[in-house]
Structure 1
């Protein structure tokens, strides 16, 4: 694993959750217990504890915050200790949609240099996330592949592994270390506007692709090329039930039984976590009326508890702001529920400041 990404991932994986992870809720249905191919390493755990132990409160909160490149400069990364930046659709270096790979790399290097120039006792490199979901589709000249619905028709996991490998290589040359893929939604209603993002309505087919795609993007856990300079970190998304909303409404309410949620909509997570997936993205949808960004029983008790996921949970675009009582710039509830990093593209400064205030006044406990 390359040193830059190695340090970032380790810090993210343990630095965030302010409240300690709770024990699984006894009332929950039995959930699978994946066994990640990445074994725990006592030396690495100790190193992470050392890094986090030397962080100030402001630095921890900065590491929990992801900002969009249109709204956060390299100087902001340095000043606020931002843990991550992303570029959304229609966002390019210097606002130039024809930016070259060299232009992307130059901006990535500027963010990296800023993150390494902070006053943190141990510097933590910023990581850049991008939706390279059918090839590195934001960059001119990248190889573009069909969306997932087309790849599902191929019924060929090894083809998916190779597509992921090429996508990773073409993403890394632009300086980015993290893609928000794969999507393992299992669409159950063709009226859902994001059906094309799912491989299939068949959970078995989705499961057969998930692990192969993760390994293609990251490399095989334990191998010499795992998360090296030709691979990127994965995000398995969207947790959970995005393909099962009532009447196919996007960001709607999923009201299936918990057994159906587990057997259909969570089918791709077991093989992805087994393959060593490093992050999971919370979904916009609700489960029985409770927004997933604030759903502690599923984010913490199930994903981190019963399923033993040891990576970090990132939010979707201002998804925390949809939780009752929250706004895009203020949402302690999402961290209590189990979110580790808020995707706050244009609201990051307010989210940073409000979270800092909540911890200082005691309304949000610090782990």
Structure 2
């Protein structure tokens, strides 16, 4: 026995040396985090002492529901959808599977159907293993795969509200309606940075800025999990932070390699996740791509040293779709699927979103028996999974019931979605105050996005790519029908001119009878031109050209030539370039992807019932080779130099980050700081007066930026550090106050640690500026380099 034990210890030591499995890592920056309850931790340890290796590996396995439904194969289910009792037994009884995700045939189901499906899975799981399974879905802007659910604007539109209260309310509604179907785990929020206008998942982010993303990310987590992180309470779900880490910093195309210096990774991409971990988010999903040549799913330094160690994350780390297989199939880092499993689990993965087979379980069991993966690593992973299941209250109540959620799809929830859509809509241009329009104006509504619920909602709506919206959302108003209701059908003519095909590539459109549209435009007083994109997400949304389509450009040019005022309405997930015709547009309104109530919200804005208050959460680019963010370096903005170059700037943009007009006007004055010199442990108090100098009430986002004059790492031109959305009546004035500390002035220095340096700074709010000095520097938490 001693001889066997010594051999086993040698194998474990070899695994630690060669594969770097999970070990106890010092937690340096842990904040509040997940509530750790002693009685639950004792129960978890009891489970670990009783579960077999096969049962433990099963807990780490997640399959998609199509695998266990009746149908011709694991990829296609029969309709109506029904579980296959034998396949369910195979998954749970034989392979001990602990988690299921997704929907069958990529389509929404009723809450009753979800109750039926998940109720059966929980019954079998409790009978066969004694541990509840955990079901997860991507409920991105509402509970994606549930018919009748309330859909809010997508995250980019929520970012445009700059309103944390609305973001939190949207998350509360989403959690409530998701749990009404018995689903306790939501693969949301996306905390990636939307810093590349080409990226197909930009609209799933809150935009390009670190601070804005962090603040709204915290609110969405509070909405899902509650302030107290008690996710066993009715109507709460476990949040899932994604995609850890640096997922959006690639080539502009989804799931492609990224090259990110550690300093940039820590300063730009890490803060949103650190704040969310400190808030107590229970789960994290991993970046599907590669960073500096290493698949993140196989990166021990990112998943274990950084996330579980330095950041103090005690929850569950789950893969994205088939991404352990991708280590072998796509990335060519592992020479077999078994080797890929070894790399991923030893790197720190706790649960594999497999999703279509059981090879993961077979391979992992063999790896443990061979000593390539330690039992310590397996037990750590299973403990994290059980911790989430206990936190959700699944052991006491494995299944929520639809009848316990009477507010599902209620008027209260619809009103919250409508209000968020209203505040998201961003007025980018309003030449000669062409907006708001007067009721009774003869309007031509045209463009491919004018009469489509699909384009208002975007992807992750009733299906993955959002293409099934028509059968589920016919009862809501498109832009056209909403304008007809507000302005009278007799005053509205509709000619689409450019349309999206029912099937095929999302980025294809075609022209239908442009001459007829031109004739209709000549008879109208105002043209509402609705351009943008069809639905997409992830790899199918990859772009070859960031310009808006040629057919839509031609339609815009034709409408401008009529001489009639043109109101350009943009309905898009990312900023498609419009510089070829923007100057000919009289007004430009950005709706993003506003959801089922976006048509109504837009019509209310166009005709003045609602005063727009949205602000851009990203920089709207003007040219394809100038896709920079607002917090760029000074070197991107060089002045004209005679004889060297004769253009004014390397960076020309269409509209700046934070831009958004109103039907009223606001003036700023009397920007003050309480002192011009502060020490590292002191607080700087900032105040500014804001007055509504127009004739109607309106909301304004007061944005505070900091500019560091000189630093050892080239500073950004400016960075957002605070914001507050306020309401002002005509002639009303408010003083808005903020507090800043030395930490708000910090950046990641040469040693990859957060530092603030003494020197001079400016506070910038609108057209106001005041300078101050930090008289001493400070280091905020020592970190060891990850040597990425």
SS at match of 1:149: helix
Q: Does 1:57 align with 2:53?
A: yes
In structure 2, what is the Cα distance between the partners aligned to 1:205 and 1:99? 34
CA contact (8 A) 1:221 1:275 kept: no
Displacement after TM superposition at 1:99 (Å):
3.0
Distance verdict in 2 for CA 1:56–1:213, change over 3 Å: same
Displacement after TM superposition at 1:56 (Å):
0.3
Root mean square deviation of aligned Cα = 2.0
CA contact (8 A) 1:74 1:110 kept: no
The 5 Å alignment of 1:176-325 reads: 176-221=183-228, 226-245=231-250, 247-323=251-327, 324-325=333-334
2:63 paired residue number: 67
In structure 2, what is the Cα distance between the partners aligned to 1:272 and 1:158? 17
CA contact (8 A) 1:58 1:356 kept: yes
Q: What is the TM-score with the length of structure 1 in the denominator?
A: 0.86
CA contact (8 A) 2:34 2:315 kept: no
Return 5+ residue gaps in structure 2 as ranges: 1-19, 69-86, 328-332, 377-788
Cα distance per residue 1:129-180 (max 9 Å; x no partner): 0000110021110011121111111111111111010001100111111000
The 5 Å alignment of 1:90-101 reads: 91-92=103-104, 95=105, 97=107, 99-101=109-111
CA contact (8 A) 1:32 1:270 kept: no
**Which deviates the most, 299-308 or 95-104?**
95-104
CA contact (8 A) 1:218 1:231 kept: yes
In structure 2, what is the Cα distance between the partners aligned to 1:96 and 1:325? 30
Distance verdict in 2 for CA 1:97–1:37, change over 3 Å: closer
Distance verdict in 2 for CA 1:142–1:328, change over 3 Å: farther
Q: Does 1:148 align with 2:155?
A: yes
Displacement after TM superposition at 1:106 (Å):
0.5
Cα distance per residue 1:163-219 (max 9 Å; x no partner): 010001100111111000000000222111211111111011100011111111112
Match of 1:47 among 28, 31, 43: 43
2:96 paired residue number: 81
In structure 2, what is the Cα distance between the partners aligned to 1:360 and 1:155? 53
SS at match of 1:116: helix
CA contact (8 A) 2:34 2:314 kept: no
SS at match of 2:321: coil
1:21 paired residue number: 23
**Which deviates the most, 269-278 or 73-82?**
73-82
In structure 2, what is the Cα distance between the partners aligned to 1:113 and 1:313? 26
CA contact (8 A) 1:22 1:301 kept: no
Larger radius of gyration: 2
SS at match of 1:215: helix
SS at match of 2:223: helix
SS at match of 2:63: strand
Displacement after TM superposition at 1:351 (Å):
0.8
SS at match of 2:120: helix
CA contact (8 A) 1:320 1:327 kept: no
Higher-strand-fraction structure: 2
In structure 1, what is the Cα distance between the partners aligned to 2:88 and 2:265? 41
Displacement after TM superposition at 1:45 (Å):
1.6
1:354 paired residue number: 363
Cα distance per residue 1:106-131 (max 9 Å; x no partner): 0010111111011x4xx210000000
In structure 2, what is the Cα distance between the partners aligned to 1:326 and 1:242? 24
In structure 2, what is the Cα distance between the partners aligned to 1:295 and 1:36? 26
Distance verdict in 2 for CA 1:216–1:155, change over 3 Å: same
1:164 paired residue number: 171
Return 5+ residue gaps in structure 1 as ranges: 1-17, 25-30
